[in-house]
Amino acid sequence: MSSVPYRNLSKANATAIPNFHPPPASEGKQTADSATNKIAQNFVTSIYDAKVSDLNRNVTITWLKNLMSHTLNILVENPYGENHYTCKIDLKTWQFWGKKGLKSFKVDGKRVDIFWDFRTAKFTTSPEPYSDFYIAFVSGDEVVLLLGDMKHEAFKRTKSRPSLVDPMLLHKKECVFGKKCFYSRTMFGHGKREHDITIETSLSGPSDPEMLIIVDGDTLIRVMNLHWRFRGNESVVVDDKPVQIFWDVHDWLYTNGPNSGQGIFIFKQGATESEDNDGNGDWRILCDEYSGNGTEFCHLLQAWKIE
C-alpha cells in the first residue's frame, strides 16, 4: 500500500458519520422494546484514502440500519470546498433487481462510476455485509476502491483495471449491541487482513466482574476486577504486529437502568505511544480524526449493553 499524508477528516466526517444517541426508554415500556429500538440504529463507518479523479481523497462509507431503512451512504471528499460528492444506495428495496446497480456522478468534472451487487450478500447483526457482495469505484478506467469478496465479478463487470495506487483504510467507527457478548471485525496485523473480535463480559454473579477480549478465538486480554480496571490499555501482538487495545466500560458498571450505556474500545495498530498512560485518560482522542499521521489504522468501537 502507498504511504499518503494524513489529512484532516473533520469536514468529510461531518455529514457521513452519524452521531448515535440511543433513545431513552419510556416509562412503562418493556426492556425488550427498548432493546429493539436501540438495535435498529446501528452503523458502521469506514474512511479510505483513494485516488479519485487524479487526486487522493477521503472516501467515507457508512452502512446505516434502523427500523425504517437500510442504506449505504458514500461521501467523496472535496478538499477544496464544503460541497462533497455524495451517493446513497437503498439496501432495503423490495425489487431484486435493485440490489445490483450503477450510479455515476462527476468529481471535479470527471466521471466516477459506482457499481454494486448485493443480490446474494450475507448479513449478520451488522448493517455491513459479511460476504458475497462487491462495491467498485471506477475513476479514469481504473477500479480505485473495491469492497467485498466478489472481486473477480467486479472486475469482469466494470471492464476496468486495478488502480496503480492502492487505497488505504484509515479509520473505522462502529456501533454494536449485546447483553454479554459483542462481535465485530477489524483489520490489522501482517497484511492488514480482517480479524474476528469478540468481547465477553461477566458483570454480575458470585465473582468479581471481568471481561475477555478475544481475537480469532484466542483470548488476548483478560481483565479481572473490572470495578477497579474499567479503564485501561494493553499492547498485544496480532500476525507479528503490535496492536494497542484501549477500553472504557465505566458506564456498564455505574449507569443505572435497563440501558446501561456504552463501552468504548479502540484497536490501533502500532507500538505503544507512551509508557506513562495509566488508563485514566480519555483514550478516544487516540482514534480521533485530528490525531495520527494516517499510516496506522484505528478502529473505534461503541458497545451498547442491553439487558
For 237-255, what is each residue's pLDDT tens digit?
988 888 999 999 999 988 7
| Per-residue confidence (pLDDT) for residue 272, from 0 to 100 | 59
Cα 114 to Cα 74: distance, rounded to the nearest angstrom: 10
Closest by alpha carbon to 22, among 11, 6, 38, 36?
38
DSSP 252: H
C-alpha cell at 161: 483495471
Least confident of 30-34, 74-78, 85-89: 30-34
CA-to-CA separations, 8 to 60, 170, 172, in angstroms, rounded: 13, 11, 15
Residue 14 pLDDT greater than 90, yes or no:
no
Q: Under 8 Å CB-to-CB from 161, ≥6 apart: which residues?
A: 141, 142, 143, 155
Number of separate helices (H) and strands (E) present in the chain: 4, 18
CA-to-CA separations, 120 to 88, 149, 248, 263, in angstroms, rounded: 20, 12, 37, 33
Closest by alpha carbon to 184, among 43, 289, 60?
43
Confidence band (pLDDT; 50, 70, 90) for 96? low
Residue 23 pLDDT greater than 50, yes or no:
no
Closest by alpha carbon to 175, among 302, 307, 41?
302
| Per-residue confidence (pLDDT) for residue 216, from 0 to 100 | 92
Q: Is 139 exposed, middle or buried (0-12, 13-18, 19+ CB in 10 A)?
A: buried
Cα 82 to Cα 85: distance, rounded to the nearest angstrom: 10
Which carries the bigger pLDDT value, residue 67 or residue 109?
Answer: 109
Mean of the per-residue pLDDT values of the chain: 79
Mean pLDDT of 14-25: 36
Least confident of 1-10, 32-41, 130-139, 232-241: 1-10
> Coil, strand or helix: which one is 224?
coil
| Per-residue confidence (pLDDT) for residue 275, from 0 to 100 | 41
| Per-residue confidence (pLDDT) for residue 80, from 0 to 100 | 81
Mean pLDDT of 96-123: 90
Mean pLDDT of 120-137: 93
| Per-residue confidence (pLDDT) for residue 287, from 0 to 100 | 66
| Per-residue confidence (pLDDT) for residue 290, from 0 to 100 | 41
Confidence band (pLDDT; 50, 70, 90) for 49? very high
Which carries the bigger pLDDT value, residue 82 or residue 219?
Answer: 219
Cα 247 to Cα 283: distance, rounded to the nearest angstrom: 8
Residue 283 pLDDT greater than 90, yes or no:
no
Contact (CB, 8 A) for 267 and 286: no
DSSP 131: B
Confidence band (pLDDT; 50, 70, 90) for 286? low
Q: Is the full-model pTM beyond 0.85?
A: no
| Per-residue confidence (pLDDT) for residue 187, from 0 to 100 | 83
| Per-residue confidence (pLDDT) for residue 131, from 0 to 100 | 93
Confidence band (pLDDT; 50, 70, 90) for 203? confident
